[in-house]
Chain A
Amino acid sequence: MSAVLRMAEVTRVHGEGATEVHALRSVSFAAHPGELVAVMGPSGSGKSTLLTLAGGLDGPTSGVVSVEGVDLAGVGAAGRARMRRTSIGYVFQDFNLIPALTAVENVALPLELDGVRSRTARAGARAALEEVGIADLADRFPDHMSGGQQQRVAIARAVVGDRRLILADEPTGALDSETGESILRLLRARCDAGAAGVLVTHEARHAAWADRVVFLRDGVVIDETGADHADALLDAGRIR
């Protein structure tokens, strides 16, 4: 099965000369449909950089990032924005909902930005909210929701419109453990339904939900484990 996300020999350097920082060094990495990959590592190991590169919010200094077979460097800023609307969904630690928009409007955002008619976009958003189990909160503003509810909205926003790559950056970091577990269950379910997920976390217990775990330190992949890691290793070796 072809990978949804593929990173090949990706390096990202911030700054120049004396202030040069290697956030990632020659990282190769892939996520397949139906697979949830956990990325672990200490602070500053490059976890977040990996996610911003995967989502096309930032570009690599060298190497190739492709999503669903499309090289992100080759489609321009507008193309990458379109990819984020249609193929890539983000989930952040601090939810990052827009407080001026209601839950359903937040979820409908990617569709609306993609030019879908408002009514259709909202219908899709309601369905997504239903999937994460909070259809009844559709018209609430984020300020009037609990952290867990907000993160469910964020996940609904990340998956609406059948996007196949979900990038989750410490999605449970701001939640209590019980709520956190339910969020991870949602992510897992979404991947089981066919999406590819990348979960950045520093809690080993959350990594248990993943099919594979990639360890990063100082921008280098130092280890990989997982249920079907033989396949993953094969996959990682087969760069192109």
Chain B
Amino acid sequence: MSALASWRLALRLARRDAMRHRGRSVLVLVMIALPVLAVTAADVVIATQEVSGVESLDRRLGAADALVEVPAGGAPMLQAFDPYDGSTSADGVPADHEPPAAAEVSDVLGGVRLLERRQGDVYLRTDDGVAYVWATEVDLRDPLTRGLFDLGSGRWPADSSEVVVNREVRDQGYAVGDRLDLVGDDAPAPIVVGIAESTTSRTMPVVAGPIGSLGIEPSEWSGPAWLAAGGDVSWAEVEELNALGATALSRAVLADPPPDSEAPEEIRAWSSGTDDAMVAAIVLIVVMALLEVVLLAGPAFAVTARRQARTLALMASAGGTPAQSRRAIIGGGVVLGTVAALLGVALGIGAGRLLVPVVQHWSGEWFGPFDVPWLHLLGIALFGLVSAVLASVVPAWIASRQDVVAVLSGRRADTRPSLRSPILGVVLIGVGVAGSAYGATSGSSGEFAIAASAVVAVLGMILLVPVVVAGVARLAGRLPLSPRYAARDAARHRTRTVPAVAAVAATVAGVVALGIAVTSDEAENEGTYQAMLPMGDGAVTAYDLTPPQWRDLHGAVAAKVPDADVVLVDGLVESTSMAEPDARSYYLETRAPGVPRHQPLLSMMATTFGSSVLVDDDMPEIVRGVSDAGRRRGDAALAEGRVVVFTDRPVDADRVVLRPSWSTMDDSGNLPRATVPATYVPIDRSEASASLVIPPAVIDRLDLPHAPVALAVSGGRITPEQEEAVTEAVQAVTNDGGFYVERGYQADDETVIVQLVLAGLGGVLMLGGTLTATFLALSDARPDLATLSAVGASPRRRRWIAASYALVIGVVGAVLGAAVGFIPGIAVTYPLTRGWDPEVEAHYLDVPWLMILGVVVALPLVTAALVALFARSRLPLVARVD
């Protein structure tokens, strides 16, 4: 018989067997089809959400054939076929190259018509302040722009005094007929004549009108751009434009790209640089998922193989080869895997279709047309098929080597476990431990080494499961009947039990490892938390309040917290409100003579009081982390008109270099530098809330503006009610203010949520693994249950046995998994909590014992209880061989 014919026979037998044992087949189908479905749905949604090059052409080009841009002031360019995938100015060319004019561009393209388009952002005054709006200037009545915007109501702008806005802008207080209130001295004030949606962005505020309507000027790094009409733009023409200093997005090039080798080498090097770590992470995830699916589906194939044991033994006694026996079982994997994969993909596409509108609701960009990435789906379907085949391989292998005589004489036990695999298991776990230790101690890619070792350790653990199951059975002699029976029977049917236990163990290992990582990360957050103020103290900060407003606020706050000291803090104006785009904010760079520039005087500081430069005649009480001696030195220095500079490194100097600079929303400049007498006062960097204190006379002499920047509230413990009252008082004066109260470290809800999600996921997978194995075991145990019934077991006994089964599988799996999970879990805390400062030896380890206890003890108990609840309490009758 040829191999093909023998496969055909095996597949036919498998198909009939699958039809005959529907329950078991459905079990396998669900185990494999569910993950395939989930991944397919996710893939379809992602593919739909991604607007690929060709799909995006209409929304980027409108009806034009190309979009030509001058991005770098006219320097010759290199670009990918789609310039948004990568473009750069060519090296070694002087940047004083003249940017190409429209006529030059048109000439290159054979004299085509060009329509100018400008883009940029503008600031718009709204009911709530100032909003950032994405602006496009282009003649929207030109048919070339069809597809860039969808007009909802009103009409397109006719001249540069008219614009259209989208719903987002409309919702901020502008209606058709209103005049836009743009921020800027000589900004235009166009009238809204229509509501139009961008075809790209769904939620961003957008405004569009003809050139000049919004006042966008081409700048050095965002030069002019044109939509070109008049036929296909070839890659050769694109390269010609590149030489002129322009990039081009050509419809023809994207629709039918030239060979990759045509793209400039520099650009290719970018795009082909796939992220190794990313690929490795994906491979790891796929391997773990495959492992889990294989383990979950494995027991069903083990039972199939056992049910066919007699048939296979008869085949063998009639001259069948082991290969034929194997095929008979693997055939089942092929049949069920194929059906599950097709079913999963089909249902997944449907689920994806239903999910697209839901996901679109949460996304700021318009999705492309519904997209089914067939090549991906082929891979996902193959994953399903491969997992089914892999799940059937071990049972098939064991079936092909079964003791024909033993099977025909009706003995049912598995063969003795080999010693080789547990030894290999121990070795693999050893490798896992070593790899984790390496990952914990090595630098950058530690997490990856640990994740890879975790997979190795889990594989090793799987090889140990048979030994552990056998050991549990040996220890079960003293247990009551049901658990004793369950433990022994589990050990006797290892091919069925081991994958189920391993599936539970692998899940628990993952849950425990991630749990330790998350909890330790949280411990690090708590351990490195830096209080900005003494516990219970507070600070009010706000921008752009006038001194009288500050005084009013001072009175209001003092009234809300009567038993606290409220002090007005004076400082350099370092930040301004968005509502005043032209207001200047200042920055003061400090340097000690003789200290290199890359060594900051203060390595860490929190700006608690609205400014890092405080202005005062005395050392402000609110500055913490300074010794009494330092405070006295500081007071003395300020009295002498010296500047106090806080530092956390030894500085031997009596002057400081001050380099002030200023900036507004779109401009900046430097002010003359000054060297002034200074006293350096050591400060504990973890408590530093200011970098220097300048006497008012000195800062006035430097001509730097200072103003009240904050209110310090200290001395009385601020209650949550007071906190709310003060916050309201601040909000009554300004939107741009806040009240911070030091409450110490506040645990993040997220950690608890992540732990719950982990435990939930673990619970679902554990339930899946346990239920499969338990109900397969029950169907396998029919004769035993019948015997039990005959010797007087009450019907309830079946429930007890079922629950004991679940308990044995759950507990053994959970304990093993937890033990193995500790390896990567502990290891990963090293790179995770190392901290940013390589000089500081930091490590935090916090084991979430409650969660682990829940997973190892409570989950198996709950699973067992569920099984007991849902198991049928009816014992089968002995079927007599007549």
A and B pair up: yes
Binding site for B on A (CB under 8 A): 43-44, 48, 52, 55, 57-58, 77-78, 81-86, 88-90, 92-94, 96-101, 105, 109-110, 112-114, 118, 143, 157, 169, 173
A143 to B413, Cβ gap below 8 A?
yes
B410 to A94, Cβ gap below 8 A?
yes
In the complex, which residues of chain A have a beta carbon less than 8 angstroms from the beta carbon of B797? Answer: 113
Complex CA distance for A96 and B879, rounded to whole angstroms: 10
Nearest opposing residue in chain B for A82, CB measure:
B792
Interface residues of B in 768-805 (CB under 8 A from A): 783-784, 786-795, 797
Question: Can you list 17 pairs linking A and B with CB atoms under 8 Å apart?
Answer: A52-B877, A52-B878, A57-B790, A57-B877, A82-B792, A84-B791, A89-B791, A92-B787, A96-B790, A98-B485, A98-B787, A100-B492, A110-B792, A113-B788, A113-B793, A113-B794, A143-B413
A100 to B791, Cβ gap below 8 A?
no
Complex interface bits, B475-486 against A, C-beta within 8 A gives 1, otherwise 0? 000101100110
Complex CA distance for A129 and B411, rounded to whole angstroms: 22
B880: Cβ under 8 A from any A Cβ: yes
In the complex, which residues of chain A have a beta carbon less than 8 angstroms from the beta carbon of B485? Answer: 98, 100-101
In the complex, which residues of chain B have a beta carbon less than 8 angstroms from the beta carbon of A78? Answer: 794-795
B881: Cβ under 8 A from any A Cβ: yes
B412: Cβ under 8 A from any A Cβ: yes
Chain B nearest CB, measured from A122 CB (Å): 10
A99 to B413, Cβ gap below 8 A?
yes
In the complex, which residues of chain B have a beta carbon less than 8 angstroms from the beta carbon of A99? Answer: 411-413, 489, 492, 784
B488: Cβ under 8 A from any A Cβ: yes
In the complex, which residues of chain A have a beta carbon less than 8 angstroms from the beta carbon of B787? Answer: 92, 96-98
A109 to B788, Cβ gap below 8 A?
yes
Chain B nearest CB, measured from A110 CB (Å): 5
In the complex, which residues of chain A have a beta carbon less than 8 angstroms from the beta carbon of B484? Answer: 101, 105
Q: A96-B783, A98-B787 are in contact. Are A84 and B877 (CB under 8 A)?
A: no
Interface residues of B in 58-80 (CB under 8 A from A): none
Chain A nearest CB, measured from B716 CB (Å): 69
Complex interface bits, B615-635 against A, C-beta within 8 A gives 1, otherwise 0? 000000000000000000000
Choose from A44, A113, A143 the contact partner of B792 (Cβ within 8 Å). A113
B882: Cβ under 8 A from any A Cβ: yes
In the complex, which residues of chain A have a beta carbon less than 8 angstroms from the beta carbon of B410? Answer: 94
Interface residues of B in 847-882 (CB under 8 A from A): 877-878, 880-882
A96 to B878, Cβ gap below 8 A?
yes
Complex CA distance for A100 and B412, rounded to whole angstroms: 10
Chain B nearest CB, measured from A189 CB (Å): 21
Complex CA distance for A85 and B793, rounded to whole angstroms: 7
Complex CA distance for A52 and B484, rounded to whole angstroms: 28
Chain A nearest CB, measured from B118 CB (Å): 82
Complex CA distance for A52 and B882, rounded to whole angstroms: 14
In the complex, which residues of chain B have a beta carbon less than 8 angstroms from the beta carbon of A105? Answer: 484
Chain A nearest CB, measured from B631 CB (Å): 78
Complex CA distance for A226 and B484, rounded to whole angstroms: 46
Chain B nearest CB, measured from A134 CB (Å): 18
Nearest opposing residue in chain A for B784, CB measure:
A98
Complex CA distance for A52 and B488, rounded to whole angstroms: 29
B881 to A55, Cβ gap below 8 A?
no
Q: A81-B794, A81-B795 are in contact. Are A57 and B488 (CB under 8 A)?
A: no
Complex CA distance for A62 and B411, rounded to whole angstroms: 39
Q: Looking at B488, B790, B793, B794, which has the most chain A CB atoms within 10 Å of its CB?
A: B790
In the complex, which residues of chain A have a beta carbon less than 8 angstroms from the beta carbon of B488? Answer: 100-101
Q: A57-B878, A93-B881 are in contact. Are A85 and B492 (CB under 8 A)?
A: no
Chain A nearest CB, measured from B486 CB (Å): 8
Nearest opposing residue in chain A for B793, CB measure:
A113
In the complex, which residues of chain B have a beta carbon less than 8 angstroms from the beta carbon of A113? Answer: 481, 788, 791-794, 797
B489 to A100, Cβ gap below 8 A?
yes
B480 to A118, Cβ gap below 8 A?
yes
Nearest opposing residue in chain A for B412, CB measure:
A99
Chain B nearest CB, measured from A76 CB (Å): 10
Complex CA distance for A197 and B352, rounded to whole angstroms: 68
B784 to A100, Cβ gap below 8 A?
yes
In the complex, which residues of chain A have a beta carbon less than 8 angstroms from the beta carbon of B882? Answer: 43-44, 48
Q: Looking at B411, B478, B795, B878, which has the most chain A CB atoms within 10 Å of its CB?
A: B878
Nearest opposing residue in chain B for A84, CB measure:
B792
Complex CA distance for A113 and B412, rounded to whole angstroms: 24
A143 to B411, Cβ gap below 8 A?
yes
B789 to A83, Cβ gap below 8 A?
no
In the complex, which residues of chain A have a beta carbon less than 8 angstroms from the beta carbon of B877? Answer: 52, 57-58
Complex CA distance for A48 and B433, rounded to whole angstroms: 61
In the complex, which residues of chain A have a beta carbon less than 8 angstroms from the beta carbon of B795? Answer: 77-78, 81
In the complex, which residues of chain B have a beta carbon less than 8 angstroms from the beta carbon of A82? Answer: 792, 794
In the complex, which residues of chain B have a beta carbon less than 8 angstroms from the beta carbon of A55? Answer: 790
Extra pairs beyond A113-B788, A113-B797, A173-B881 (14, CB < 8 Å) = A48-B880, A48-B882, A52-B878, A81-B789, A81-B794, A81-B795, A96-B790, A98-B485, A99-B489, A112-B481, A113-B792, A118-B480, A143-B412, A169-B880
Complex CA distance for A88 and B484, rounded to whole angstroms: 25
Q: Looking at A43, A77, A96, A157, which has the most chain B CB atoms within 10 Å of its CB?
A: A96
In order of increasing CB-CB distance, the 8 nearest A-B pairs are: A85-B792, A84-B792, A100-B488, A100-B489, A96-B787, A81-B794, A90-B790, A110-B791
Complex CA distance for A109 and B482, rounded to whole angstroms: 11
Complex CA distance for A118 and B489, rounded to whole angstroms: 19
In the complex, which residues of chain A have a beta carbon less than 8 angstroms from the beta carbon of B413? Answer: 99, 143
Q: Looking at B481, B791, B794, which has the most chain A CB atoms within 10 Å of its CB?
A: B791
In the complex, which residues of chain B have a beta carbon less than 8 angstroms from the beta carbon of A88? Answer: 792
Complex CA distance for A3 and B410, rounded to whole angstroms: 38
Interface residues of B in 790-831 (CB under 8 A from A): 790-795, 797
B489 to A86, Cβ gap below 8 A?
no
Complex CA distance for A118 and B480, rounded to whole angstroms: 8
Nearest opposing residue in chain A for B783, CB measure:
A96
Q: Looking at B488, B792, B877, B880, which has the most chain A CB atoms within 10 Å of its CB?
A: B792
Complex CA distance for A98 and B877, rounded to whole angstroms: 15
Complex CA distance for A90 and B790, rounded to whole angstroms: 7
A92 to B878, Cβ gap below 8 A?
yes
In the complex, which residues of chain B have a beta carbon less than 8 angstroms from the beta carbon of A173? Answer: 881
Complex CA distance for A144 and B877, rounded to whole angstroms: 26
Nearest opposing residue in chain B for A92, CB measure:
B878
Nearest opposing residue in chain A for B476, CB measure:
A100
Nearest opposing residue in chain B for A51, CB measure:
B880
Chain A nearest CB, measured from B10 CB (Å): 30
Interface residues of B in 698-730 (CB under 8 A from A): none
Nearest opposing residue in chain B for A99, CB measure:
B412
Complex CA distance for A71 and B267, rounded to whole angstroms: 93
Chain A nearest CB, measured from B472 CB (Å): 13
B791 to A157, Cβ gap below 8 A?
yes
Chain A nearest CB, measured from B484 CB (Å): 8
Chain B nearest CB, measured from A234 CB (Å): 32
Chain B nearest CB, measured from A92 CB (Å): 7
Choose from A85, A89, A94 the contact partner of B881 (Cβ within 8 Å). A94
Chain A nearest CB, measured from B830 CB (Å): 45
Complex CA distance for A169 and B877, rounded to whole angstroms: 14
Complex CA distance for A78 and B783, rounded to whole angstroms: 20
A109 to B878, Cβ gap below 8 A?
no
